[in-house]
């Protein structure tokens, strides 16, 4: 009995992407479909990000559906991923883009300091890298660079030709003004100097091919965000805040800032959401709880997830071993990973909405 490709595609249309709300065939996810004369089917499903949390679910469902087609004796389903560029970024149309090899620039900001923005930035960056994506991290917190300590790398970057080479840490490419200064040297720069430094890190660093460049911004609403919005096609921003009212007031200002400079909001993260006692398991909501989720709903912005206050997160930041590296199976590391997946899903949604996918089956 001959198995037709159309029969296989028909059953695969029953699988819907939960974020994009369309079936994987019409989305163009099927990039290879081979059927031999005996009824063995080989399919490749190409997702929009390697950080997809349900890729195994997709694989299992596709296998089940294909095997149910009359005449099929075997199904080989391969899962791949290709991060797609945003075809309608806000600043698209620059003659010479600063980062032509970077598919998505994602800003991580906060309305105020002390909410764990840099900790969130480094852990979601590593989570994306560990999913299989090519990831860079730019520490753009000019006045308080902390990523060299958090990543355990403080050596000076080398120069090749007229480009600085980013350092490698836990599989990330990263760069920070902290690598160029003495540990105790204060950064006392006016706005134009900060603007120039950020441009240098974008223009004069050999970032190479990246799926995501995570930019750890300074707290507040200042010059660096303006520099990014005017110089790059920024795919979106993440705002980190804590649950109490005063922090949420500043977080709302940060959301408003990104909207003002036409950087799309990917979502809000609630850090320090609660503390669970390591001895008895008692949960205490030190800074209240749920405020960020409520604010996200009011602002019509995705809520990406919440993170507890955990000792191992602080230790990881101080020792250069972020918790997603030092204890990847812990509940807090899994929470960071889930937030990274949710963020990547938002990037994929915007990328797919900006262009019409084509079905290319080989």
Output the pLDDT for position 36: 94
Q: Which residue has the tokens 């009995």?
A: 1
Residue 221: pLDDT above 80? no
pTM listed for this prediction: 0.90
Tell me the per-residue pLDDT of 115-172, one tens digit each, with 9 for 90 and over: 999 999 999 999 999 999 999 999 988 777 889 999 999 888 898 888 889 999 999 9
CATH superfamily of 5-81: Fe-S cluster assembly (FSCA) (3.30.300.130)
Residue 185: pLDDT above 60? no
| Better-scored residue on pLDDT, 113 or 66 | 66
Output the pLDDT for position 238: 96
CB-hemisphere CA count at 13 Å for 63?
Answer: 12
The DSSP code for 307 is -
Residue 30: pLDDT above 90? yes
Token couple for 318: 């101080």
Asked if residue 351 lies in contact with residue 85, where contact means CB atoms within 8 angstroms, the answer is yes
Asked if residue 133 lies in contact with residue 240, where contact means CB atoms within 8 angstroms, the answer is no
Q: To 5 degrees, how large is the angle CA 137–CA 141–CA 142? A: 120
The CA distance from 305 to 335, in Å, is 7
Output the pLDDT for position 205: 92
Class (C level, CATH) for 102-352: alpha beta
Output the pLDDT for position 288: 80
Output the pLDDT for position 182: 65
Same CATH topology for 5-81 and 102-352: the answer is no
Residue 292: pLDDT above 80? yes
Strands 16-17 and 22-23: antiparallel
Domain boundaries, the chain: 5-81, 102-352
Distance of alpha carbon 324 from its chain centroid, rounded? 14
Percent pLDDT > 70 in the chain is: 89
Q: Name the β-bridge partners of 241.
A: 270
Q: Please, what is the end-to-end C-alpha distance for the chain in angstroms?
A: 22
Tell me the per-residue pLDDT of 328-351, one tens digit each, with 9 for 90 and over: 999 999 999 999 999 999 999 988
Output the pLDDT for position 358: 47
Residue 223: pLDDT above 80? no
Q: How confident is the model at residue 243 (pLDDT cuts 50, 70, 90)?
A: confident
Q: How confident is the model at residue 360 (pLDDT cuts 50, 70, 90)?
A: low
- What are the b/e assignments for 292-305, b being 16+ CB within 10 Å? bbebbeebebbbbb
Q: How confident is the model at residue 359 (pLDDT cuts 50, 70, 90)?
A: very low
Q: How confident is the model at residue 186 (pLDDT cuts 50, 70, 90)?
A: low
Token couple for 140: 């753009």
Q: Is 132 exposed, middle or buried (0-12, 13-18, 19+ CB in 10 A)?
A: middle
Whose CA is closest to 222, among 144, 315, 316, 135?
Answer: 144
Whose CA is closest to 103, among 200, 230, 232?
Answer: 232
The CA distance from 25 to 4, in Å, is 15
Phi-psi region of 220 (alpha: psi -120 to 50; beta: other; left: phi over 0): left
Residue 189: pLDDT above 70? no
The CA distance from 241 to 194, in Å, is 24
Residue 142 dihedral angles phi and psi, to the nearest 5°: -55, -40
Output the pLDDT for position 354: 65
Whose CA is closest to 261, among 63, 141, 94, 89?
Answer: 89
165: Cβ–Cβ under 8 A, 6 or more apart, which residues?
157, 158, 159, 205, 206
Asked if residue 162 lies in contact with residue 204, where contact means CB atoms within 8 angstroms, the answer is yes
The CA distance from 303 to 362, in Å, is 38
Return mean pLDDT, the chain: 87
Residue 317 dihedral angles phi and psi, to the nearest 5°: -70, -35
Whose CA is closest to 266, among 334, 350, 333, 338?
Answer: 350
* Coil, helix or strand at residue 279: coil
Asked if residue 238 lies in contact with residue 271, where contact means CB atoms within 8 angstroms, the answer is no
């Amino acid at each position: 009995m001959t198995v037709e490709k159309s029969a296989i595609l028909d059953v695969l249309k029953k699988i819907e992407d939960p974020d994009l709300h369309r079936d994987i065939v019409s989305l163009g996810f099927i990039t290879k479909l081979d059927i031999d004369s005996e009824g063995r089917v080989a399919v490749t499903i190409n997702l929009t990000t390697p950080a997809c949390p349900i890729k195994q679910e997709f694989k299992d469902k596709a296998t089940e559906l294909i095997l149910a087609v009359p005449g099929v004796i075997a199904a080989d389903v391969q899962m791949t991923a290709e991060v797609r560029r945003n075809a309608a970024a806000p600043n698209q149309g620059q003659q010479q883009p600063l980062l032509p090899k970077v598919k998505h620039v994602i800003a991580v900001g906060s309305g105020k300091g002390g909410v764990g923005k840099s900790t969130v930035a480094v852990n979601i960056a590593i989570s994306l890298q560990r999913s299989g994506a090519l990831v860079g991290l730019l520490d753009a917190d000019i006045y308080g660079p902390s990523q060299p300590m958090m990543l355990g790398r403080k050596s000076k970057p080398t120069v090749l030709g007229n480009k600085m080479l980013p350092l490698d840490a836990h599989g990330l490419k990263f760069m920070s003004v902290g690598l160029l200064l003495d540990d105790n040297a204060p950064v006392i720069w006016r706005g134009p100097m900060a603007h120039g430094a950020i441009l240098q890190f974008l223009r004069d660093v050999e970032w190479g091919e990246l799926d995501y460049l995570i930019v750890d911004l300074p707290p507040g609403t200042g010059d660096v965000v303006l520099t990014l919005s005017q110089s790059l096609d920024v795919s979106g921003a993440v705002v980190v805040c804590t649950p109490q009212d005063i922090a949420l007031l500043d977080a709302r200002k940060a959301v408003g800032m990104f909207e003002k400079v036409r950087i799309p909001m990917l979502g809000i993260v609630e850090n320090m959401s609660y503390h669970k006692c390591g001895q008895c398991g008692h949960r205490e909501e030190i800074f209240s709880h749920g405020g960020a989720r409520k604010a996200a709903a009011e602002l019509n912005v995705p809520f990406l997830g919440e993170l507890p206050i955990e000792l191992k997160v602080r230790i990881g930041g101080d020792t250069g071993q972020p918790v997603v590296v030092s204890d990847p199976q812990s509940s807090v590391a899994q929470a960071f990973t889930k937030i990274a997946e949710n963020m990547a899903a938002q990037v994929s949604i915007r990328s797919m909405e900006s262009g019409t996918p084509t079905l290319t089956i080989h």
